[in-house]
Structure 1
């Protein structure tokens, strides 16, 4: 499932491509036909993201809400878009042809809807925890309060979007390893001092992900010199059965919150 940095990166690109322009919106697949008809021909005024949710804002207060889920994906381009094929849920293309035509296609999303009123995004966000990628000075404290008041394991809570928005399986595994916290430790066992170091590190990693479009969590000292490859980008994620980059212990894998969990039993003791 795409993590929060992917949605913020998408929002930036779509805002640059479409904000301020009249657009044509269609649903070749048909599943979004009613929603497409509502926003077709309107001016797209901006695109924002919160956690794993994308909001496309139109004049008149209309907002399209997208959640990619496990398999959702946007593709985009300039010029005449390709012939629609397959389960193409939504196509947006610019309609003010005094500028180069831009388009984007959405497939596979679990949510693609026009929210019923301008307050719709606020209602979605109200159900979510703080987003490390939003500039919110109170986010660190609110996130800690939610996690620290529960006996549920911190590894499970980091995947709970109501506790923390935008963190997925990769960031969960990697941020806990970087701070030597066992994913099985109860949330109430995470100290304020530990959180005061973990949160800004998570913000830094996720912002780097927005810029580069990939997740790199290993420090230069813990990987070979040169270009970061897929097999050197992470400490524990999908490295089960391999030696820990720090201590050499075999990386373990288990199931937590419905997803594979990766950790080092030596570096991340309870």
Structure 2
């Protein structure tokens, strides 16, 4: 499932290429025909992400809400931009199993995107730059729930968990149920809200970090890595975690989320330079402390990394460093 950094990057693509333009909205699959009719022909006025949810606003006050879930993805085509970090990656940027070699400058995303190119870009849990287009707009491929089309750019949505047309009050009601997002909420208020919530819960911290009503955007990868970086036992009840450590978790999440949005990768190891940094961008094996490293030696103490099921999801941790 895409984690927070991916959804923020998708919202950025819409902000760059759709906001301020009239958009033709259709449902090639047919399952969103009525919703498409309500949005068709209107100018997109805003694109924003909160955690794992994205909201696209149109001039007449209606919003398109999308939650990609496990299987959802956006395919962009036409005159779009693509970060230098995926320009030559033989894999999908942002996913934990990216393959291939990454070259080019690794600047801040908004400045490294360069000139638009007529091509395809798939954005979900991962990002994949595909072959240049031969014609525009491309024919829909597969079960496209929603197609958003301007004169030069196309975005196709497949397989989302949620895809709804909402009014402003309904959008706010959805957002009100979500925990704080470091890229959306006031830093001080967000930290206080997160800290207060965690410290009153008997729930294990590993489950709290995945609860989108506690904090927005954290998924399985960031959860494992944040807990290791904090040297925190994942089974510790939230109310038993020292307050200073809860606050440190929030600050670290804010830091890692910003890195993820900037690079398109869930980079969770600090101090990487030169070839080590390029290797981390290209391969999960060089990118994470504990995630997906079952049985491999801890990078700090050498103890085999454990994997267990908690809340229906896989949890990776070091039983010594996080004792």
What TM-score do you get using the length of structure 1 for normalisation?
0.94
Give the one of 84, 87, 96 matched to 2:143.
87
Contact 2:77 2:138 in 1 (8 A): no
Show CA shifts across 1:178-209 (max 9, x none).
Answer: 01001100000111111222211110111110
Query: Equivalent residue for 1:56?
Result: 56
CA–CA distance in structure 2, aligned partners of residues 223 and 190 of structure 1: 36
Unaligned regions of 5+ residues in structure 2, if any?
80-135
Q: Which structure is higher in RCO with an 8 Å CA cutoff and minimum separation 6?
A: 2
Tell me the C-alpha RMSD between the 2 structures.
1.5
Contact 2:296 2:304 in 1 (8 A): yes
Return the offset for 1:153.
0.1
Alignment partner of 1:264 is 2:315: no
Return the offset for 1:85.
2.6
Alignment partner of 1:192 is 2:246: no
Give 4+ residue runs of structure 1 displaced > 4 Å after superposition.
221-224
Query: Equivalent residue for 1:166?
Result: 217
CA–CA distance in structure 1, aligned partners of residues 296 and 273 of structure 2: 15
Unaligned regions of 5+ residues in structure 1, if any?
none
Contact 1:159 1:257 in 2 (8 A): no
* Residue aligned with 1:112, SS: strand
Show CA shifts across 1:204-261 (max 9, x none).
Answer: 1111101111101012369983522321100010001100001100000001121100
Query: Equivalent residue for 1:251?
Result: 305
Match runs of 1:81-230 below 5 Å: 81-94=137-150, 97=151, 101-115=152-166, 117-136=167-186, 137-220=188-271, 225-227=276-278, 228=280, 229-230=283-284
Query: Equivalent residue for 2:2?
Result: 2
Contact 2:198 2:246 in 1 (8 A): no
Structure-2 change in CA distance of 1:221 and 1:213 (3 Å): closer
Single out whichever of 241-250 and 197-206 deviates more from structure 2: 197-206
Return the offset for 1:146.
0.9
What TM-score do you get using the length of structure 2 for normalisation?
0.79
* Residue aligned with 2:293, SS: coil
